[in-house]
Amino acid sequence: MSPITNNNDFLTFQRQTLDKSPQDIRAYWTPERKKAAIPAHRYGTMIDDVGMPDAENTAPTTDPKQADMSKMPFITGGKLFFTLDGVDYVASGNIFMKNNLLLTAAHCVQDDNTGHLAENFVFERCYTGELSTEDFTFRTVALKENWYTEKDNKWDYAIAILNRDSTVEKPLQYRIENLLGRTVTASGYPTNYFDGAQMMYITGTVDERTDSWMIRGGKLANGASGGAWVLEDGETVVGLNSFAGTTAKGGAYIGSPKFDAEFDKLYKYVLTLL
């Protein structure tokens, strides 16, 4: 895929004639490659919580449960495979807004340290082991240039246009919300459960941390990156798995960028590319 930078602070890269075809990319992802792929994670961005009060440091962790992928919001989700700098990775994503749009994390698209872009994208909806309901390659993917220039969790989101429409009946719909104190369900494919072969989820109360949201006690490990945070209606996506960490007292948390006017600008820009 070839990068194209426009004058609206967005980075897009699209399939070009000499790039691999969707068939080539699917052929690349043999069962052996999928099994050997490592979970995507944020590079060097774990948050130091040594200064947090003990009450916050000792929040009990919540083990994920297995998702029922016949129901919302999980039916929109799946496993994302990609290659970055010659290394194969796995992450998560969800169909949202339209049947050919995918929401995932920016760190599953571009390395914020080097600026290098990923390739060989394949999204497998409702993935279970070697099987999935349907799979897609990317036609176009877009994110904010700020992700690389500022290297901040607040920009850790990306939107891909898939090579064809999903058959999912109802994509997730996003809303800009103040999530403080709200209950959300976060899902994805953490590799520390079922070797990443099953979608897992947690439900938790959202807290605020500078430019991001967080769920204290959340325990979705690497591989869940890009999975959606959804409100109790099971239909509204308000965040995604961006970073994870442990506290000085051994607690765990996961975090999401805030969906705000800047996220809305990215979505509206992607609509111009359809």
**pLDDT value of residue 160:** 97
- pLDDT confidence bin for 105, thresholds 50/70/90: very high
pLDDT tens-digit readout, 213-234: 988 887 787 899 999 999 999 9
54 pLDDT exceeds 70? Answer: no
Comparing 87 with 6, the larger pLDDT belongs to 87
- pLDDT confidence bin for 249, thresholds 50/70/90: low
- The answer to whether residue 49 is domain-embedded is no
**pLDDT value of residue 19:** 67
Mean pLDDT (whole number) for 237-265? 87
| Structural domain total, the chain | 2
- Supply the mean pLDDT for the chain: 87
Do residue 166 and residue 176 come from a single domain?
no
- The answer to whether residue 166 is domain-embedded is yes
- The answer to whether residue 199 is domain-embedded is yes
Comparing 48 with 127, the larger pLDDT belongs to 127
Do residue 223 and residue 101 come from a single domain?
no
Mean pLDDT (whole number) for 23-47? 80
pLDDT tens-digit readout, 138-180: 999 999 999 999 989 999 999 999 999 999 999 999 999 999 9
Asked whether the CA dihedral 144, 147, 149, 153 is positive or negative, the reply is positive
56 pLDDT exceeds 70? Answer: no
Do residue 212 and residue 229 come from a single domain?
yes
CA dist list (Å): 262 to 23, 132, 214: 35, 33, 19
Do residue 12 and residue 136 come from a single domain?
yes
Do residue 131 and residue 27 come from a single domain?
yes
User: Which tokens hold the place of 104?
Assistant: 């995932």
- Domain of 250, CATH number, reads 2.40.10.10
Of 15-24, 90-99, 141-150, 216-225, the one with minimum mean pLDDT is 15-24
Of 96-100, 109-113, 250-254, 263-267, the one with minimum mean pLDDT is 250-254
17 pLDDT exceeds 50? Answer: no
Do residue 152 and residue 22 come from a single domain?
yes
Do residue 137 and residue 164 come from a single domain?
yes
**pLDDT value of residue 99:** 98
DSSP string over the chain: -EEEE-TTSEEEEE--TTSPPHHHHHHH--HHHHHHPEEP--TT-----TTS-HHHHTPPPB--EE--TTSTTGGGEEEEEEEETTEEEEEEEEEBSSTTEEEE-GGGTB-TTT-PBPEEEEEEET-BTTB-SEEEEEEEEEEETHHHHH--GGG--EEEEESS----SS-BEE-----TT-EEEEEE--TTSGGGTS-EEEEEEEEEETTEEEEETB---TT-TTPEEE-TTSSEEEEE--EEEE-TTS-EEEEEEPP-HHHHHHHHHHHTT-
Do residue 109 and residue 10 come from a single domain?
yes
Do residue 22 and residue 86 come from a single domain?
yes
**pLDDT value of residue 13:** 74
- The answer to whether residue 14 is domain-embedded is yes
Question: Which structural domain range is residue 217 located in?
Answer: 54-69+172-257
Do residue 216 and residue 111 come from a single domain?
no
